[in-house]
């Protein structure tokens, strides 16, 4: 009995291992393994605003969530799941107290976007290509370089918690 239990645990660990490593290391499992986005979607800084947010804790940033035309259209029309080609971008900056603004307000109250922080992240919808990760390709770029695959695997693991909104946490800010 002890031996069977051990085997089950081993299999579960192996399955977890597939989801957490690059597909190249296991060609046979390529279709089921996650594929990540390796190029920054061009022009994303010009996209329209979906919403803004502030994360405390270790992230400690203030952020904007932007969408390309397909994403914005889907948001505004309440289209779920998002259509192929929709891309959502998350830009974040350090959460800086603004001495300049506070001086004018006469009290410490103003926090503004400082230097870029926590990379730029993307979710790219392609139901077939990214079938292994809920139809979304995840990406993070730190100083223009794609983040390590272990970082990206954490994206899907977390976004999978919001299946009822097609893995997208951010709501449109009206």
Contacts of 93 (CB under 8 A, 6+ apart): 61, 62, 63, 113, 114, 115, 116, 117
Q: Which stretch binds its own copies (CB under 8 A): 28-36, 56-64, 122-130, 148-156?
A: 56-64
Residue 57 touches its own copies, criterion: CB under 8 A:
yes
CA 79 from chain centre, in angstroms, equals: 19
Task: Figure out which of the listed residues 22, 53, 149, 151 binds its own copies, where binding follows CB under 8 A.
Answer: 53
Determine which residue in the list 3, 14, 24, 107 makes contact with its own copies, applying CB under 8 A. Answer: 107
Q: Does 169 bind its own copies (CB under 8 A)?
A: yes
The whole-angstrom separation of Cα 117 and Cα 150 is 19
Question: 91 — phi, psi (to 5°)?
Answer: -105, 140
To its own copies, the closest distance from the beta carbon of 128 in angstroms equals 27
Q: Mark residues 146-165: x for contact with its own copies by CB under 8 A, - for none.
A: ------------x--xx---
Least gap, CB of 157 to its own copies (angstroms): 10
CB atoms within 10 A of CB 73: 15
Cα distance between residue 67 and residue 50, in whole Å = 6
Q: DSSP assignment, residue 95?
A: E
Q: Which two tokens stand for residue 94?
A: 């350090």
Which of these ranges, 9-17, 61-69, 118-126, 131-139, lies near its own copies under the rule CB under 8 A? 61-69
- Binding footprint of its own copies on the chain (CB under 8 A): 45-49, 51-57, 59, 62-64, 66, 91, 93, 95, 98, 100-101, 104-105, 107-113, 116, 158, 161-162, 169-171, 173-174
């Amino acid at each position: 009995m002890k031996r069977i239990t051990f085997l089950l645990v081993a299999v579960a660990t192996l399955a977890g291992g597939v989801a957490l490593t690059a597909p190249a290391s296991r060609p046979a499992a390529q279709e089921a393994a996650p594929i990540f986005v390796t190029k920054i979607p061009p022009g994303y800084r010009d996209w329209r605003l979906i919403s803004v947010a502030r994360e405390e804790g270790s992230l400690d940033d203030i952020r904007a969530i932007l969408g390309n035309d397909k994403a914005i259209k889907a948001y505004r029309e309440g289209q779920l799941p998002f259509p192929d080609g929709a891309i959502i971008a998350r830009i974040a900056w350090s959460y800086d107290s603004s001495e300049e603004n506070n001086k004018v307000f006469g009290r410490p109250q103003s926090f503004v976007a400082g230097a870029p922080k926590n990379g730029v992240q993307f979710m790219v919808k392609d139901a077939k290509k990214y079938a292994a990760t809920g139809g979304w390709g995840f990406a993070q770029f730190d100083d223009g370089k794609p983040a390590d695959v272990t970082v990206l695997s954490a994206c899907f693991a977390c976004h999978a918690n919001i299946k009822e909104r097609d893995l997208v946490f951010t709501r449109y800010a009206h």
